[in-house]
Amino acid sequence: MPFIIVRNDITKMAVDAIVNAANSSLLGGGGVDGCIHRAAGSGLLEACRALGGCAVGSAKITGAYDLPCKYVIHAVGPRWYGGKHGEKGLLESCYRTALSLAMTHGCTSVAFPLISSGAYGYPKAEALKVAVDTIGAFLLEHEMTVYLVVFDRSAYQISERLFADIAEYIDDAYASAHADTQTRRLEDSSVSRVFAPRSPEPALPAASFDAELGQKLRQLDESFSQMLLRKIDEKGMTDAACYKKANIDRKLFSKIRSDIHYRPSKPTALAFAVALELPLDETRSLLEKAGFTLSHSSRFDIIIEYFITKGNYNIFEINEALFAFDQSLLGA
């Protein structure tokens, strides 16, 4: 999965590069900066001294010393002064500069903390949106696995309004699923009152059974991968645009492309439905090809349904919401 949100201590991430939320002196500090310098050892501070500082909104790279990664990218986020002092542009520029440094150093995996959201006071929900949007846009153009490392749950907040809106949608969907069950129970009990044993189906002789089954197997419906490739063509998308928008890595996509009977996981199948911007009924048809359905008994399903019915097909935003509700993320 090219973009993954995880809850972890960034110094434990075994990726090519981790990003530090530094200050413009690059000589260490508190928060994630302090954790990284402590875990990397004094060699990191020596390397930073040689860099001569760094401008706000920019980033510089060093080796990683005792850390399990290869590089540390020191990005200097903006302090929050209320939002009207170019904070957003500077924060975006931090992510973009760090990502392009990672690219030029051949990194295929990078982990970011939520830059500026601690000591620098950037509101967490807004800092998170900048991170998700900027990293998301980069991944639509480049092959890389990017982790957004969220230290603790309180550090992670999707906007309260979105959270409340999804929570309400889940409640309503549960309520209607429950009402359906009740009606069904009533219907079932009325059926059982008039229940009469069904006459047994006449048994088919073994030979004709085999022939009929053989014929049915030859008339298999379009498979998941066939439908996926057809939809990509119909939408006039390239394969790469589709798997990137689906947060799916290239290797998995090639597997799906070359195996018409490929059985994806549900998050993978849904990721493609989102990338293709399928409406709900077509999403259900694509899922069905992989043996899945959307159910109102599952929070995961309701959240996906919420975004599709709102016409919001931004997989990174959907994942942000899934993460906030402790659900598996889309993509693979």
- Does 21 interact with ligand AR6 (rule: CB under 6 A)? yes
**33 a catalytic residue:** yes
31 near ligand AR6, rule: CB under 6 A: yes
Which member of 1, 11, 274, 330 binds ligand AR6 (CB under 6 A)? 11
- Closer residue to ligand AR6, CB minimum distance, 130 or 248: 130
d(CA 220, CA 224): 12
Helix (H) / strand (E) containing 174 = helix 160-193
**φ, ψ for residue 159, nearest 5 deg:** -60, 140
The yes or no reply on residue 229 touching ligand AR6 (CB under 6 A) is: no
Stretch that binds ligand AR6, among 29-37, 137-145, 176-184, 284-292 (CB under 6 A): 29-37
Is there binding between residue 30 and ligand AR6 (CB under 6 A)?
yes
Q: Considering only CA atoms, which of 317, 324, 321, 322 is closest in space to residue 132?
A: 317
Contact 289, 223 (CB under 8 A): yes
Q: Which amino acid is at 122?
A: Y
Question: Which residues in the 102-121 window bind ligand AR6 by CB under 6 A?
Answer: 113-120
Q: What is the CA radius of gyration of the chain?
A: 25
The phi and psi torsions of 203 (rounded to 5 degrees) equal -70, 140
What secondary structure does DSSP assign to 240-276, as a single string? HHHHHHTT--HHHHHHHHH-TT----HHHHHHHHHHT
Q: In what order do the strands lie in the sheet with 59-63?
A: 3-7, 145-150, 109-112, 17-22, 71-76, 59-63
Q: How far is the CB of 91 from ligand AR6 (least distance, A)?
A: 9
Nearest 5 degrees, angle CA 107-CA 332-CA 136? 55
User: Among residues 4, 35, 229, 252, which is the contact residue for ligand AR6, using CB under 6 A?
Assistant: 35
Q: Which of 1, 10, 47, 302 binds ligand AR6 (CB under 6 A)?
A: 10
Provide the 10 A C-beta neighbour count for residue 113.
29
Is position 22 an interface residue for ligand AR6 (rule: CB under 6 A)? yes
Q: Does 45 bind ligand AR6 (CB under 6 A)?
A: no
Residue 15 near ligand AR6 by CB under 6 A:
no
Binding to ligand AR6 (CB under 6 A) within 149-178 occurs at: 149, 151, 155
Q: Is 17 in the site for ligand AR6 (CB under 6 A)?
A: no
Give the DSSP letter string of 205-248: PHHHHHHHHHHHHHTPPP-HHHHHHHHHHHTT--HHHHHHHTT-
Among residues 33, 133, 281, 326, which one is catalytic? 33
Q: How far is the CB of 309 from ligand AR6 (least distance, A)?
A: 32
Closest CB to ligand AR6 among 54 and 274? 54
Q: Does 136 bind ligand AR6 (CB under 6 A)?
A: no
Question: Do β-strands 109-112 and 17-22 pair in parallel, antiparallel, or remain unpaired?
Answer: parallel
Site for ligand AR6 in 65-84 (CB under 6 A): 77
- Count of positions on this chain that bind ligand AR6 (CB under 6 A): 24
When asked if residue 29 is in the footprint of ligand AR6 (CB under 6 A), the reply is: yes
Instruction: Report the interface residues with ligand AR6, using CB under 6 A.
Output: 9-11, 21-23, 29-33, 35, 77, 113-120, 149, 151, 155
Active site residues: 33
